[in-house]
Structure 1
Amino acid sequence: MLTILNQFRNEEILILMDKKNSLGKEKFKENLYNVKIISNQREVFSEIKKFNPDIIFNDILNTNIKYMEKLKKGKIFLVNFEDLGEGRKYSDLIFNPIFSATTKLLNEYYGSEFACVRDEFRIFQRTQIREKIEKVSITLGGVDNNHNTFKIIKIINENKILKNVTINIILGFGFKHKEKLMKLTNSMKKENYKIIIIEKTDFISKYILDSDFVIASNGRTVFEIASLKIPIISLSVNSREKQHNFVNETKTGYQINMLKISAEKELINAISNMEKFEKRKIFLENLEKIDLKNGIERVVHMINYGYNAKKIGIKS
């Protein structure tokens, strides 16, 4: 959402964050945005009434009908992101880049062409391709409640793979299991594993860019990795991520459902294949066919056009 908001910096902006899910508030504040923490929906509508916005961006996974109906009564231009909820039909625009659909609403847009990658991924370009694997990055983002980072490293250790490469483990801002992870990685270093722990970095792109492939959770980060033309092993770690088929559809790496019993075997095979340049080369060629750096301009243009069209009474 920060990427989108940065395109509207000349406007007055208020960010409302749920008290139960306010992990990114410091990042917004660092960027000098006005952030208010709310505890319930009554407070949401109270703040909206006081602020009197022209546009509302809903970055809510599944909006409900009651919430969206009430917003719609305010004659505000409504834009929803990554929303599969029933309430989305009341929105003026819906962008669902990480999903695909056979049927959709008239104002609903699916697919990677509407992905909004962060600026740091838009300004850099890959400058080299190594035939032999030297560096791999692992980024599973955020809090990682299910210990997926630890599970992946444990699989690597138990199967003695990636032993001759540098493994960058990029931890999210809310990561809570560092002690357990460090104990494992320290023991692996004694066995000559080359592991680097990267914490609270604002520029993960520089690590991704220097990787021969990346193991990542199957969410928005996949678009950012692909924008740098780096092959991906994407891991679906929850039921929602299973619906994101970008990697399979574009043939830019391996997509693994970590909820399956066979997940560990599939991951080991995927890593083994990534070590073969002839396999990786196919993904690299497919990545060159994809443009993910211009999605932000496309989305911002559609928002501005839609808002102005509605304002003067033209159907967009």
Structure 2
Amino acid sequence: MFNNNKILVVIPARGGSKGIPRKNIRLLNHNPLISYPINIAKSSEYVDDIVVTTDDSEIALLSEKFGASVIMRSEELSGDDVPLDPVVYDAMVKKEKQTFDEYDLVVTLQPTSPLLEPSTLDAAIEKFEDFAIDSVLSVVDDRHLSWGYDEKNERYFPNYIERKNRQYLPKDFRETGALLITRRNFVHEDSRLGTNLDLIEVSRQESVDIDNFEDWWIAENYLQKKKVAIVVNAYDEIGTGHVHRCLSIASKLVFHDVLFLMDEQHQLGIDIVDSYNYPFEIYDGEDDLIKILRKHSPQIVVNDIMDTSREYMTQLKEDGYFVVNFEDIGVGSEVADVVFDALYEHDMGEKNVFTGYKYYILDDEFYFQPQKVITPQVENVLIAFGGTDPNNFTETVIDSILATSYDGRINVILGLGYDGLERLIDKYESNQSVQIYRNVSDISEFMFKADLIFTSAGRSMYEVCSLGVPTICLCQDERELTHVFANETNGFINMGLCADVEKQEIIDQFIGLVNDYELRLEMNQKMLSVDLKDGFENIWAVIREEYRKFELKGQKHENIQ
């Protein structure tokens, strides 16, 4: 049908907008608003001609630059109270005179609906394959519990019979104004609607109608929304910190679509992500991971899987993704667009690598805890060696503390990956001072209430530092020895590799710290002098800048917010 029909798109764009002055030429996500309906029409499979009807020379100039023809409307058709019907009719008649032809369908697209998809426009046009259809309008399902007002009796009344959750209410469509398509013979000065109407339902995103600055802000965030794929795992050897960092990142990407990709061999990470209700897919090997990424076609791929290979990273770059890696000191890091490493504070001499504590992302719960006030007495000790504690430092430290005269509380937090929970419970169940917890959801509260903490030199050192709790660090392995943040300058006592530390050394260090109020106060002040609250903002600022460079290289023609 459509090869034999001429289709005209009319875009009305006055210069005298009131809600947002000069909105049609303002830049929305780096492009003038008037460019959006023009590009939508140009992307259609069926549109023949595009005309912008305006009273403004600047709008006319921009419209022509973006590929539309222009009809300058008269002053009589440019007032605030003039409806669209005579404006569209005027543009249609003048365009037909220019082309010496008559159109079959006339489409009205409005600049105030910049999020309409070209595929939606084409789907609306295709409805006219049914010759009984005269007009098609765009609508959005706007069902909700609403109320009316009876002015005569001065009372409110419900517009529903039964109160139900929104998803169970009957559909209630609201016009979006994004598009209206009518057969040529129904376009008049006082109407653009035929006798037989059909509706095309659009998404919430496509239904955004820019009338004020709030609408503008919503539209801009939609336009800047990205698909972000996060590849991350958790298992005994690497712990759960990687997953929790990525969950913290995901919680802040509220304007973006996030998908987690998890290795099917590592159930621990899958269970954690699943408990947070984020969407995820499971992959079986690197080839399967690449296939899933291609299926979803994200703009950004985040890898929090530690050391990457050059082959894997090269494939991601060949597929056109912007790649962000965390804690990657493998050869693949050279290929990534950005690498963040809060744990390894060293200069690798690579321009794409950003290291140091300012790129650490605190879990949300730590933003709302007050700073620790140091008291002369140590009455609460916390032992927390991460999600797995593969060397069982937990038991070593408990035994060391119990060998002293300390008679306060000992809270022990074990992660999901800790092996030996039952044995630990059996060993200490008769000791009322030892309280064992597993996989707590409010670890910041335990840390804040503690007067002294034992932990490893992993991510927990940043968490305790943000609160200012005196801490003794014991490194799990050689890799943790390179996590230099846990040092005296930042308020920590770092005893090095725990395997090299004798039990008596732990006892002596513990007793010394318990009895030295001034030292604990000094450690507290050093910790609180370190600003750890802006990690995500620092990371996202780098990503925005590097993505801009990536964009300018021509790999992606998008912006990021």
When normalised by structure 2's length, the TM-score is 0.53
Identical aligned pairs, as a percentage? Answer: 28
Q: In structure 2, give the amino acid aligned to 1:303.
A: I
Take 2:306 and 2:499, find their aligned partners in 1: how far apart are those partners?
Answer: 24
Equivalent residue runs for 1:266-305 within 5 Å = 266-275=505-514, 276-305=516-545
My pick for the range that moved more, 23-32 or 33-42, is: 23-32
CA distance in 1, matches of 2:347, 2:551: 31
Which residue number in structure 2 is paired with residue 235 of structure 1? 474
Q: Counterpart of 2:176?
A: none
Instruction: Name structure 1 gaps, 5 residues minimum.
Output: none
Deviations 1:81-127 (A, max 9, x none): 01110110101111110112243311111111111110101121125
Deviates more, 1:48-57 or 1:283-292: 283-292
Give the corresponding residue for 1:53: 298
Over 6 Å off, 4+ runs: none
Residues 32 and 9 (structure 1 numbering): CA distance in 2 closer, same or farther, change over 3 Å? Answer: farther
1:141 aligns to 2:381 (yes or no): no
Deviation at 1:249, TM superposition (A): 5.5
Tell me which residue corresponds to 2:453. 214
Quick one: which of 183, 190, 195 aligns to 2:426?
183
Counterparts of 1:84-123 in structure 2, within 5 Å, are: 84-123=329-368
1:173-216 Cα deviation digits (max 9, x unpaired) = 222211111122124x1xxx511112221110001001112111
Measure how far apart 1:57 and its partner are: 0.4
Q: Which moved more, 1:240-249 or 1:204-213?
A: 240-249
2:546 to 295, 306, 309: 306
Q: Following the alignment from structure 2 to structure 1, what is the Cα–Cα distance between the partners of residues 250 and 539?
A: 12
Q: Residue 142 of structure 1 aligns to a residue in which SS?
A: coil
- Residue identity matched to 2:341: N
1:10/1:32 CA distance change after superposition, 3 Å: farther
What CA distance in whole angstroms lies between the structure 2 residues aligned with 1:27 and 1:143? 14
Maintained 8 Å contact 1:256/1:263: no
The answer as to whether partners of 1:273 and 1:279 remain within 8 angstroms in 2 is no
Give 1:26 deviation, angstroms.
2.7
1:160 correspondence with 2:404: yes
Cα deviation digits, residues 39-78 of structure 1 (max 9, x gap): 2111110101101110000101111111111111112111
- 3-state SS of paired residue (1:23): helix
Distance (whole Å) between structure 2 residues aligned to residue 213 and residue 98 of structure 1:
22
1:65 corresponds to 2:65? no
Would you say the 8 A contact 1:134–1:166 is kept in 2? yes
SS at match of 1:247: coil
Unaligned runs of 5+ in 2: 1-245, 555-561
Q: Tell me the amino acid that sits aligned with residue 265 of structure 1.
A: Q
Contact 1:80 1:93 in 2 (8 A): yes
Q: Distance in 1 between matches of 2:301 and 2:335?
A: 12
For residues 249 and 44 of structure 1, the distance between their equivalents in structure 2, rounded to whole angstroms, comes to 42
RMSD: 1.9
Q: For the residues of structure 1 that align with 2:503 and 2:283, how far apart are their CA atoms?
A: 41
Q: CA deviation at 1:136?
A: 1.0
The equivalent position to 1:264 in structure 2, one of 461, 482, 503, is: 503
* 1:291 counterpart SS class: coil
Q: Secondary structure at the match of 1:246?
A: coil
Paired residues of 2:372 and 2:524 also in contact (CA < 8 A) = no
**Structure having greater relative contact order (Cα 8 Å, sep ≥ 6):** 1
TM-superposed deviation, 1:260: 4.2
Does the 8 Å contact 2:404/2:507 carry over to 1?
no
CA distance in 2, matches of 1:116, 1:259: 26
Paired letter, 1:282: E
Structure 2 CA distance for partners of 1:212 and 1:106, relative to 1, 3 Å = same
Q: Secondary structure, in 3 states, of the residue corresponding to 1:240?
A: helix
Larger radius of gyration: 2
Number of residue pairs the alignment of both structures matches: 309
Query: Deviation of residue 263 (structure 1)?
Result: 4.2
